[in-house]
Chains A and B, each alone.
Chain A
Amino acid sequence: MDLSRETLIEVYRRMRTIRSFEENLQALVAAGKVGGFMHLYAGEEAIAVGVCMQLTDADLVGSTHRGHGHCIAKGVDVKAMMAELFGRATGTNKGKGGSMHIADVDKGMMGANGIVGGGIPLITGAALTAQVKGTDSLAVGFFGDGATNQGQFHESLTMAANWKLPVVYVCENNGFGEFTPTEFVVPVKDIVERAKSYSMRAVIADGMDFFDVYEKMGEAKALALAGEGPTLLECKTYRFYGHYVGDPTPYRNKEEAEDWIQNRDPLDIFERKATEAGILTTDDLREVDGDVEQLMREAVEEAEQAPMPSVDDVLTDVYVRY
C-alpha cells in the first residue's frame, strides 16, 4: 500500500461524506424538506473516490442522474451542494439545476445528467477539447450499465477510439437499469465485452474496493494521457437504496441485497484494509466520522436558512446574449 496516511484519511473522508450526505438526504426527502427526483450513490462510493483521487481540478468528469457522489469525490463544496438540493440561491447551480443537474465547472465537475447516457458525448467532447488544444487534461465519463445500451454510448466510444482521445469511460455496473436486472436487457455478461467492437482497452474492477478502482484508474489515466487511447473501466457495484429515494425495491432479492450491504460495504472494506495495513487506526476513522457528521449538520442548517432565488431568476442564464 503506497498511499500516505494523509491521502488515506482524505479517501475515507470523501467516502464517508458521500455516505452521510445520501443518508441525510434520504431523511430530508422523507421529511418533505427536499423535493424532486433523487437518486442516491450510497454503496458506490469506492468508484467515485477511487477514480477522482487520481484527478486534479484540471481534469473533467461527466456524471449521471446518480451524481452526488461524483461531485463530492471531485471536491465540490458540500454546503453548496446541500443548498442546491434545497433549491436555494446559494446552491452550486443557484437553485436552477437540482439533483439531476448538479455541477461545478470550476472543480471540473461537468454536471450530473438527467438523460441516461447523455453525459457520455459531452465528456467525449471535453476530451476532444484537450486533444485539439494539446493540454494534459483527462476527461472521465461516469455512467451506469443501463447507459451502455444507448446509442450515445456506442457513438461516443467509436469516436473516442478512432481519435485516441484522452478519456476514461467508467461504467458503474450496479446490476440494475432502474428496476430491471442488467442481464434481462444487456446481452453481454460483462460490459467490458462491448469495448471489443471499438478495439478499446477494457478492464474490470471491484467497485466496492477503493484500492482496486484507484489502481486500475491510475493505469487507464496514464495510458490515455500518453496517447494510447481510452479505457472502458467496468466497476462492479450495488445500489444500497435502490433506484430512487423511496424505492421499495421489490424487484431485488433480499438475500442478495443483504449480502452486498452487510458483507461488501465499500467503507467497511476500506477500513479493514487500511487498518490491517497499519496505516490508519479505527480512532482515525471515527474522528473523520465525527467531522463529517458535524459538516452535515452545518450543511443542512445553513441550507435551510439560505435565501430562496428571486423569482426574476426564472428569466436569467438562458442565453449569454439574446
Chain B
Amino acid sequence: MARELNTGAAINEAIAIAMRTDPDVILMGEDVAGGGDRSKEGTEEMGGVLGTTRGLVGEFGMNRVRDTPIAEMGLIGTAVGAAATGLRPVAELMFMDFLGTSLDPLLNQASKLRYMFGGKVKVPLTVRTVSGAGMQAAAQHSQSLYWMTTGIPGLKTVIPSNPADAKGLLLASIRDDDPVIFCEAKGILNLVGEVPEEDYEIPLGVANVVREGTDVSLVAFGATVSTAMKAAKALEGAGTSAEVIDLRSLSPIDETAILTSLEKTGRMVIIDESTPRCSIARDIAAVCVDKGFDFLNAPVKCVTAPHTPVPFSAVLEQAFLPSAQDVLDAVGEMG
C-alpha cells in the first residue's frame, strides 16, 4: 500500500526536498523553527504554530531556517529583497489574515519590481499562508483572501485541495521564478491521502478534472473540492452527472478547463469559501458569461460564504461555510 500523509506533512516534505535540491532555498517566518534553541538543552522546536515546519531547522540549520520577529511587513519585505538578490525564500505568513500587516511588500514591491525595472529582475519568492475557516479561529484568523492576491498583477496564487497536490504544487511554486502566494486551506490540513515519495512538480495554471460528468460543472479549489465531491455523489443518486474541476491555481487560472467543461455540461456552479463580493467565484462567472455564453443552458451559480466576517461559534462557522447542501440547492435552482 502506498504511503499516506496528511497535508501538513506533505508540505513539510516539499520544503525539505526543495531545500535539499537548491542551496538558495531558505525558510523564514514567525516560529518556523519556533524555539527549541540549540543552546537551550531540554527544549524542542515547535516548527510553526501548526507544526508544519517541525524538523527542518535540525536538518538545514539556523542560517537557512530563520525565526523572525512577529513583524509581518519586515519579514515579508525582507524575503522580497532576498528573492530579488539571489535567494529563493519560502516565507511563512502564519495566517492569510495577516496580509493586513504585510501588504506593502506584496502589493507594491514583489508584484511590481520586475515590471518597473523593465524585466531586469526576478522575484522567486513563495509566501506560504494558512487560509480559510474551519478551526473556530474566528474573524481575524479565518479569512480566504486569495481574491486579493489574485487581483494583483505580478503575483501568482496557488491553492491545493489534497496532500499529494500540496506537495507537487509547493515544489513547483518554490521553483517558479515569480512571486507565488501559496494558500494552505485549513479545511485540507488534516486531510490524509497517498503522497508519492519522489520529487515531483504539478504545473501552475493547470486545473484537474477530479470527476467526469455530463450534466453540470462544479468548479472548486482548496477546501471546496471535497464539498463539491460530496455534492457530486449526492447528485449522482438523484440522477444528475456532475463534473468536478479542481482549479489548483487561481493566478494563472485555467480558463480553458473551465470553458471546456461548461461546453460539455451547459451548466456551471462555482464553489468558493470566501465572501462573494469581488470573489474568484464571480470572476469565473464573468468568464463563463463573456466567453461561454453560447454554452450556457442555465444561469451561472456562485456558492460562497455570505458577505460577513467569519464567526466563532462552530454552529455559526459551519453556517458561514459553503456546504454540499448549498451546492445541491444551487443546482436545484438552475432547473
Contact = CB atoms under 8 A, between A and B. Distances in A.
Contact of B122 (A94, A118, A320): A320
A159 B113 contact: no
B202 interface: no
Contact of A125 (B78, B104, B112): B78
A184 interface: no
Interface residues of B, number: 47
Given A132-B87, A155-B73, A319-B156, A115 B104 contact: yes
Contact of B109 (A93, A122, A130): A122
Interface in B110-133: 112-122
Interface stretch (B64-72, B157-165, B189-197): B64-72
A103 B178 contact: no
B154 A318 contact: yes
Nearest to B78: A125
A123 interface: yes
A306 to B, nearest CB: 14
A155 B205 contact: no
Given A124-B77, A125-B84, A318 B114 contact: yes
B223 to A, nearest CB: 26
A155 B69 CA distance: 8
Contact of A115 (B78, B80, B108): B108
Given A97-B116, A101-B117, A318 B74 contact: no
B77 A122 contact: yes
Given A152-B77, A159-B74, A133 B109 contact: no
B118 A92 contact: yes
B74 A128 contact: no
A151 interface: yes
B79 interface: yes
Nearest to A163: B66
Given A105-B120, A159-B74, A132 B176 contact: no
A110 B85 CA distance: 9
B119 A111 contact: no
A162 interface: yes
Contacts of B118: 91-97, 317
Nearest to A131: B63
A154 B74 CA distance: 8
16 contacts: A93-B116, A97-B116, A104-B120, A115-B104, A118-B104, A122-B105, A124-B78, A125-B77, A125-B89, A128-B78, A129-B81, A133-B24, A155-B77, A163-B66, A317-B115, A317-B119
Given A62-B81, A103-B116, A163-B66, 19 more contacts: A92-B118, A110-B81, A115-B109, A120-B77, A121-B74, A122-B77, A125-B79, A125-B82, A125-B89, A128-B82, A129-B82, A154-B71, A155-B71, A158-B69, A159-B78, A318-B115, A320-B114, A320-B176, A321-B178
